[in-house]
Amino acid sequence: MLLDVATYEDAQYQSTEPIGPQPPIPQGVQDIELSWDRKAGYMRVVIKGQTWHFKEYLGKAEILGTDNPRGRLYLRAIAILDGETLIMYRDPHTMPHPLTASGWASLGCRLRIEGLRSQTTHNRLCYRRSSQDWRLRDERMPWNHPEALKFVTSYVGDMSAEWNRNDSIAHIFHNGYVIIDSDNICHLYDPDLVYD
């Protein structure tokens, strides 16, 4: 098996070095880019062109989509950095992600988003650089279970997330359920929110 050195030469595991002092993140609801910083060996968020690194992540966010060639998640949330822990809060004025297809809902129809729906579980979300797509892994299923691992083209919806600092690999976990639609887009739902 041959590995693409340009793809795999950078840091794949979280650095054990302290991140060090960082300025406060701007207050209020922000558009946020989240990704793994392969050079620094930390997760990072980019807000208005400025970067913050973190080793642990907790909270809620609206996930707007992904940039597959670059391996980026696009979020909207209130972000606070507490030491090396990033905490996010969902915009309290944002409506929950629809369970109905938006085009049909505008015509008065209540067509449900069709697709494979999971139960509420602990989902690992991570980027698959070699294919420029995303993994969805149900961490509560046995490793070899045929339904445990799915590959999806993007994520959207309401993320209820965590990432423990003891996990040295760049994973974000969604605690909730998902629907994978016919375009292979993964819609995330937060069990703490009420949906139509």
* Distance separating alpha carbons of residues 152 and 161, to the nearest angstrom: 18
pLDDT in tens, the chain (196 residues): 333 434 445 557 888 999 999 999 999 999 999 999 989 989 999 999 999 999 999 999 999 999 999 999 999 999 999 999 999 999 999 999 988 655 444 444 444 677 878 899 999 999 998 999 999 999 999 999 999 999 999 999 999 998 888 887 878 899 999 999 999 999 999 999 988 7
Query: Does residue 147 contact residue 191 with C-beta atoms inside 8 Å?
Result: no
Task: Give the torsion through C-alpha atoms of 112, 113, 114, 118, to 10 deg.
Answer: -110
Predicted local distance difference test score (pLDDT) of residue 42: 92
Q: Determine the 3-state secondary structure of 8 from DSSP.
A: helix
What does the pLDDT read at residue 183?
92
Q: Hey, what are 102's tokens?
A: 């938006």
Q: Which tokens go with 44?
A: 């990072």
Report d(CA 82, CA 42) in Å as an integer. Answer: 15
Beta bridge partners of 117: 179
Tell me phi and psi for residue 34, to 5 degrees: -120, 135
The answer to whether the beta carbons of residues 161 and 88 sit under 8 Å apart is yes
Both tokens of 107, joined, read 């015509």
DSSP state of 98: P
> Which pTM was predicted?
0.86
State the sign of the Cα–Cα–Cα–Cα dihedral 146, 151, 155, 161. Answer: positive
Q: Is 40 helix (H, G, I), strand (E, B) or coil?
A: coil
Please, where are the H alpha helices in the chain? Answer: 5-8, 102-105
**C-alpha of 59 from chain center:** 11
CA 9 from centre of chain = 24
Residues 66-119: pLDDT tens digits? 999 999 999 999 999 999 999 999 999 999 998 865 544 444 444 467 787 889
